[in-house]
Structure 1
Amino acid sequence: MAETKQQLHIAMFPWLAFGHIIPSLELGKLIARRKGHRISFISTPRNIDRLPKIPPDVAPLITLVKLPLPHVDNLTENAEATMDVPHHIIPYLKIAHDGLQEPLSKFLETSNPDWIIHDFAPHWLPPIASRLSISRAFFSIFNASSLCFIGPPKFPLSASPGTTEETDLGKRTELEHFIVPPKWVPFPSKIVYRPYEAKKLFELIEANASGVSDMFRLNMVYLGTEFLAIKTCMEVEAEWLNLFGELLHIPVVPVGLLPPSPQEGNDNKDSTWDTISEWLDTQEKGSVVYVALGSEIRPSEEDFNELALGLEQSRCPFFWALRKSAGGESVELPEGFENRTKGRGIVWTGWAPQFKILGHESVGGFVTHCGWSSVTEAFQFGRALILLPFIGDQGLIARFLEERQAGVEIPRKEEDGSFTKDSVSQTLRLVMKDAEGQIYRDKAKEMTTIFGDKELQHRYVDKFVELLEKHRRIINKG
């Protein structure tokens, strides 16, 4: 007799950053839409209120759960996500996040989900979920090559004796260790940090104001999870996914690239899109460079100036989505910049619908900070990439893309990461116009066959959910 399929209840708890929240919500929507399972999506009140509207076909299956963020010194009243605070205040946001331990525990006790799909930050969560017999999956928005570079946990889950020394991130104590591929990568790779990026990496390894380091959080989550779900696919990085599975000794499951659905843009902001599209409609096909460095990047005044002057010097039409920083500090455009580029370029300081802009046929290239979600969006439309990474895994993603000739990085000084208007201008012209840059434009178009194939990507979600279903059936029988 055929086994009756049971509806699962899945709780989702992303880190308090929209680069984590949105992919997590996208995964939740796909699980609900394709498999009919119930989702409890957990975040803070203001973050929940800022989410895109849940489509009517899945709204009955998704419950948005608001857990108030505890008050913490150094955090302003409305700061509930990383985009709301300057970079140096993020450790205090982690303190507030850790304060969600008790209300989250109560929610899990009373709602009794089958699974919790969580992020890297709640190092305290696995023991709580285990005590309540709730299965655990860590959902990583970081791609497999970046996770491989960072390395497996300090205490391998079931590694054979003697392997700890080889794979212990703690053994990489000098800057020189991070500018070469790690010993555990068995194939040729150029995915490394530059010296100026490696200096910043030590912030992740050392304990911050929250009392623990980001590496401690990640290690504890690795050690306490049953599956690692990762926002990537075999067609993009099979060798890295296979390697990471060997390093972690737990199932590493690609859930696809989670491309956002175009019909799910912010409806209430359509007048914004009308204004932007009106300008884009006047530009030649494939001529416009879209410039957006994400909601959390705060370039120095010097970097900001060189980027602006490089854009001007390139003579490329551009649309620059320039958001005011959370700390309130404003950066000034070079004097006369907007007058000199009038008609050829637009500096847009409000909210900009990135997915729709990238989808417009006049856009040919994208100056990006190399956030994995932004890369995913750009490749759905075959947009050539000009790479300008700043923090975290962005440098590793830039090397990953360059290795595949899927983007070109703006040249910078190895020691301090500075760049010039000339390097910006030359890279823009190479990727957008020059004959020798055709390879990058072709490669970007080629990427649409993977990144733009919705059915291929959705099959990954289906396989992941089948694993969740099968695992719970085994537990329930046991």
Structure 2
Amino acid sequence: MTNTNRPLTDHTKMAKNSKMLHIGVFPWLAFGHMIPYLELSKLIAQKGHKISFISTPRNIDRLPKLSPNLTPFLNFVKLPMPYVENLPENAEATTDVTYEQVKYLKLAQDGLEESMAKFLEDSDLDFILFDFTSYWVPSIASKFNIRSGHFSIYIAAFLGFTGPVPGLNNDYEIRTTPEEYTVPPKWVPFETTVAFKLFEVLRIFEATMKGEEENIADITRYYKSVENCDFLFVRSCSELEPEWLKVLGDIHRKPVLPVGQLPTTPYEDDSTKIDAWIEIKLWLDKREKGKVIYVAFGSEAKSSQNELIELSLGLELSGLSFLWVLRTKRGESDDELVQLPEGFEDRMKGRGIVCTSWAPQLKILSHDSVGGFLTHSGWSSVVEAIQYEKPLVLLTFSADQGINARLLEEKKIAYSIPRDDCDGSFTRDSVAKSLNLVLIEKEGEIYREKVKQMKSLFCDKERQDNYVDNLLCYLQNYKKTIP
């Protein structure tokens, strides 16, 4: 097992004297996965190694453009999207589909197995890094003597909580009820509050834990991925969650390497996006420093109608200025639009903006007027908030967000809006009080200070560079052992 707690060393000289690697990367068809995969790819390419970034045509076309110095090293490989019944036309990412249609997207990615095999056969890859959905990658890669690594964009706490592969070198009981996911598992040897709330489990239990007749459960995909890969890379750092990284190494009995937090790097926008930012910036420039709350829940989360009403009226009650990027539908086929309370936008004129189209998150977070970020606790958003020292208020929706929130709460890095543990309901009063606590009141000073302390841990360029050097050194040494 790799010791994840050892100090990182600079392997730059060793890398220069070693053969350059060719690494394939294959993320899940969600931008919350593709962007961290791209960030890691860019960091590896900057060191002169070759990357083949594999996805479907429309997804690749929607990714941020590369800087010219990276294009010789980072190649995009477009695998044609297979037809799957019930998957909307041109839907290639989770942002294009309703929650109920995500399973068809997974079946479509499974349908890439044959074209992936053809690509691997014709390539000169040394390694391939793959996401939890495409559990079938290791068996194909091994046929062509290509070693595979599962690269998880989920943090170590989430993977540790998910636990070992049932029955593989262990006798832990399989969790079969939602309630069993609301307490820390038996394989975690230390005191922790990291666990799901019941409402968080209930929202994902059927698809994630149980699966459906035509689709393999997410947890099964993950277990198969970890069982069959050669090593596990995690979007994490040993300074933040050393105990969880150790749990991972212990339960899976294979090398586990943190790759750093992979903060999103700014990129050049097209003219349409520049115009959108100019308008938002003019509005932010007129607001008081540190008194605007930025509200955004990622590219996938969509609140229920009742949640939207309480959130809206909570923002109104708070008295704070706000910039809200609101997602009213998921994909073109979503006909269940959520609507703001009647008269809300008129009442909030001059105090708040509701944006239902694209918004430049990094630029917004970098603005001095923004004093905090109300987010779903998706890890990329968390890292971006810390990057610009914006304290975090959390409102989870699905997937790994509950576990992320518990870890952040436990370490006093963020504050969660109080909710009913069973049904997830919250009130406008709790929204207003939470926002004022974190942005204004003395009681919330700990969150405003903690996020500043975390910046060097999450976003220090040299620290991130060392993690990538460590990863590359590991792969180069590993390659020497391959017959």
Instruction: Classify the TM-score, shorter chain.
Output: over 0.9
CA shift for structure 1 position 202:
2.3
Paired residue type of 2:428? K
Paired residue type of 2:205? F
**SS, match of residue 52 in structure 2:** strand
Q: Would you say 1:58 and 2:65 are equivalent positions?
A: no
Whether the aligned pair in 1 keeps the contact of 2:301 and 2:327 (CA below 8 Å) is no
CA shift for structure 1 position 263:
4.2
Q: How far apart are the structure 2 equivalents of 1:145 and 1:293?
A: 21
Task: Specify the alignment match of 1:198 in structure 2.
Answer: 201
Q: How far apart are the structure 2 equivalents of 1:252 and 1:315?
A: 47
**SS, match of residue 462 in structure 2:** helix
- Compared CA separation, residues 137 and 456, structure 1 to 2 (3 A): same
Q: Would you say 1:30 and 2:43 are equivalent positions?
A: yes
Q: Would you say 1:182 and 2:185 are equivalent positions?
A: yes
Q: How far apart are the structure 2 equivalents of 1:439 and 1:80?
A: 42
CA shift for structure 1 position 178:
1.2
- Compared CA separation, residues 267 and 406, structure 1 to 2 (3 A): farther
Paired residue type of 2:41? G
Q: Would you say 1:106 and 2:118 are equivalent positions?
A: yes
1:57-456 equivalences under 5 Å are 57-156=69-168, 159=169, 164-166=170-172, 168=173, 171-203=174-206, 204-208=208-212, 210-264=214-268, 269-325=273-329, 326=331, 327-456=334-463
Q: How far apart are the structure 2 equivalents of 1:153 and 1:289?
A: 41
Whether the aligned pair in 1 keeps the contact of 2:328 and 2:339 (CA below 8 Å) is no
Whether the aligned pair in 2 keeps the contact of 1:259 and 1:454 (CA below 8 Å) is no
Q: How far apart are the structure 1 equivalents of 2:441 and 2:17?
A: 60
Whether the aligned pair in 1 keeps the contact of 2:261 and 2:459 (CA below 8 Å) is no
Task: Specify the alignment match of 1:20 in structure 2.
Answer: 33
Q: How far apart are the structure 2 equivalents of 1:89 and 1:313?
A: 36
Q: 2:56 aligns with which of 39, 44, 54?
A: 44
Paired residue type of 1:24? Y
Q: How far apart are the structure 1 equivalents of 2:153 and 2:119?
A: 24
**SS, match of residue 244 in structure 1:** helix
Whether the aligned pair in 2 keeps the contact of 1:91 and 1:209 (CA below 8 Å) is no
CA shift for structure 1 position 266:
5.5
Q: TM-score, normalising length from structure 2?
A: 0.94
- CA offsets per residue over residues 113-132 of structure 1, 9 Å max, x none? 11101000112111111111
Whether the aligned pair in 2 keeps the contact of 1:52 and 1:266 (CA below 8 Å) is no
Q: How far apart are the structure 2 equivalents of 1:466 and 1:267?
A: 40
Whether the aligned pair in 2 keeps the contact of 1:411 and 1:423 (CA below 8 Å) is yes
CA shift for structure 1 position 267:
6.4
Q: How far apart are the structure 1 equivalents of 2:350 and 2:204?
A: 41
Q: How far apart are the structure 1 equivalents of 2:113 and 2:106?
A: 12
Q: Which moved more, 1:289-298 or 1:267-276?
A: 267-276
- Compared CA separation, residues 24 and 438, structure 1 to 2 (3 A): same
Q: How far apart are the structure 1 equivalents of 2:108 and 2:78?
A: 14
CA RMSD of aligned residues (A): 1.5
Paired residue type of 1:9? H
**SS, match of residue 294 in structure 2:** strand
Paired residue type of 1:317? S
- Compared CA separation, residues 266 and 460, structure 1 to 2 (3 A): farther
**SS, match of residue 362 in structure 2:** helix
Paired residue type of 1:165? D
CA shift for structure 1 position 329:
3.3
CA shift for structure 1 position 265:
5.2
Q: How far apart are the structure 2 equivalents of 1:306 and 1:323?
A: 15
Q: How far apart are the structure 2 equivalents of 1:424 and 1:211?
A: 37
Q: How far apart are the structure 1 equivalents of 2:86 and 2:276?
A: 34
**SS, match of residue 59 in structure 1:** coil
Aligned residues: 465
Percent of pairs with identical residues: 50
**SS, match of residue 294 in structure 1:** coil
- Compared CA separation, residues 265 and 450, structure 1 to 2 (3 A): farther
**SS, match of residue 458 in structure 1:** helix
Alignment gaps of 5+ in structure 1: none
Paired residue type of 1:196? F
- Compared CA separation, residues 343 and 91, structure 1 to 2 (3 A): same
**SS, match of residue 373 in structure 2:** strand
CA shift for structure 1 position 151:
0.6
CA shift for structure 1 position 210:
3.9
CA shift for structure 1 position 147:
0.8
Q: How far apart are the structure 2 equivalents of 1:48 and 1:367?
A: 29
Q: How far apart are the structure 2 equivalents of 1:259 and 1:328?
A: 34
Q: Which moved more, 1:282-291 or 1:328-337?
A: 328-337
Paired residue type of 2:377? C
Paired residue type of 1:270? I
Q: Would you say 1:460 and 2:467 are equivalent positions?
A: yes
Task: Specify the alignment match of 1:7 in structure 2.
Answer: 20
Paired residue type of 2:316? E
- CA offsets per residue over residues 69-119 of structure 1, 9 Å max, x none? 111111111100011000111111111110000001000001131110100
Q: How far apart are the structure 2 equivalents of 1:400 and 1:112?
A: 40
Paired residue type of 1:72? V
Q: Which moved more, 1:174-183 or 1:13-22?
A: 174-183
- CA offsets per residue over residues 138-164 of structure 1, 9 Å max, x none? 1100000111111111243xx3xxxx2
Alignment gaps of 5+ in structure 2: 1-13
